[in-house]
Amino acid sequence: MALHTPRKINSSPYLPFGDKQDAPFYGKDILSVKQFSRADIDYIFGVAREMEEMVRRIGSFDLLKGKILANLFYESSTRTFSSFTSAMERLGGSVIPINEVRYSSVSKGESLPDTVRSLESYADVIVLRHPEMGSAELAAKYARKPIINAGDGMGEHPTQALLDLFTIMQEMRHIDGLTVTMVGDLKYGRTVHSLARLLALYDVRLNYVSPDILKMPAHILEEVKQHNIPQAEFNCLDDVIAQSDALYVTRVQKERFEDLDQYEGVKNAFVITPETMESAKEEMIVMHPLPRVGEIRMEVDDDPRAAYFRQVEYGLYVRMALLAMVLGKA
């Protein structure tokens, strides 16, 4: 396909006045965690901590005053959608919310490239969630303004992985040396695909616990292996809970199953209960990208090791940092 416009804002005449052109990530897309180095992550986390401090002290401020975010969601979302909205508004910017694509021209059959090329006339950055793998990359090929991938089918969810890693860092104070156990739907769950890739930059040990039909895809195991990270697969959580420093629980992704009987067979394969927590380390944290649909019993919520609602809050600071960075203000 011939693409006529090689156009990210830092290489185009559309440079908005007053942006810091030399800021890291200025004008860049965020499509996959593969684009980040450890130094990048340190930088993002530094900005996220500053955002946390500012939100605690003053709530909202005008760093992105006048900037507009288009939140373009073709799949349902509660946290990702509203955390990007909150992040933008706490930074003084505003948001075009498109989460009911059935009320937009998408329902008339408009293509993704046309939708993003139109939205970027109104907005400075586009956050995109779409059911197809590779959709964020496709949008980025056509867009001049930065595209942030908020989940592309069973592909990646890079901003979630950054906030997951930030959660581990804030809660455990370090990442090197930790054992992280991922449990649930490792096949369709895009958050674990991104998180495994990101953790592979550190000196960690990864355990994967899933039903046989929901194992971590081979290409991700292979990528992680290239970083010499020890990885092991299990069918039973009891085998690994005691050695885990972070337990990352995921929902079985019903919407990605072609055969719903197969979903019924695995949907309750792993459920975290107060009894499960008895075998876990005192310092372990339990994480979940949410929504949970039964994988973690509500009785676990009162356990101080349950970090999933704190994780939601860390997400706000990470997304504020990313927006400020791609818009040249951090």
- Positions in the binding site for ligand NCD (CB under 6 A): 79-80, 151, 157, 160, 190-191, 251, 253, 289-290
Cβ 224 to ligand NCD, closest distance in Å? 19
Q: At what angle do helices 308-326 and 79-90 cross, to 10 degrees?
A: 50
Contact 34, 90 (CB under 8 A): no
Q: In terms of CB distance, is 120 or 152 closer to ligand NCD?
A: 152
Q: In terms of CB distance, is 67 or 190 closer to ligand NCD?
A: 190
Return the number of other C-beta atoms located less than 10 Å from residue 175's C-beta: 20
Structure tokens belonging to residue 140: 């980025």
Q: In terms of CB distance, is 160 or 179 closer to ligand NCD?
A: 160
Element holding 73 (H helix, E strand): strand 68-73
Cβ 139 to ligand NCD, closest distance in Å? 17
Cβ 178 to ligand NCD, closest distance in Å? 22
Distance between CA atoms of 271 and 293, rounded to whole angstroms? Answer: 10
Structure tokens belonging to residue 265: 């067979």
Cβ 313 to ligand NCD, closest distance in Å? 13
Cβ 106 to ligand NCD, closest distance in Å? 19
Return the number of other C-beta atoms located less than 10 Å from residue 275's C-beta: 10
Nearest alpha-carbon partner for 268 in 307, 227, 232, 296:
296
Q: In terms of CB distance, is 95 or 252 closer to ligand NCD?
A: 252
Q: In terms of CB distance, is 125 or 161 closer to ligand NCD?
A: 161
Nearest alpha-carbon partner for 112 in 94, 97, 132:
132
Residue with tokens 């609602």: 309
Number of helices and strands (H, E) in the chain? 10, 9
Cβ 190 to ligand NCD, closest distance in Å? 5
Q: At what angle do helices 308-326 and 158-172 cross, to 10 degrees?
A: 120
Q: In terms of CB distance, is 63 or 127 closer to ligand NCD?
A: 127
Q: In terms of CB distance, is 80 or 115 closer to ligand NCD?
A: 80
Cβ 188 to ligand NCD, closest distance in Å? 9
Cβ 92 to ligand NCD, closest distance in Å? 25
CA distances to 26, 33, 60, 223, 318 from 163, rounded to whole Å, are: 20, 12, 20, 21, 6
Element holding 315 (H helix, E strand): helix 308-326
Q: In terms of CB distance, is 157 or 187 closer to ligand NCD?
A: 157
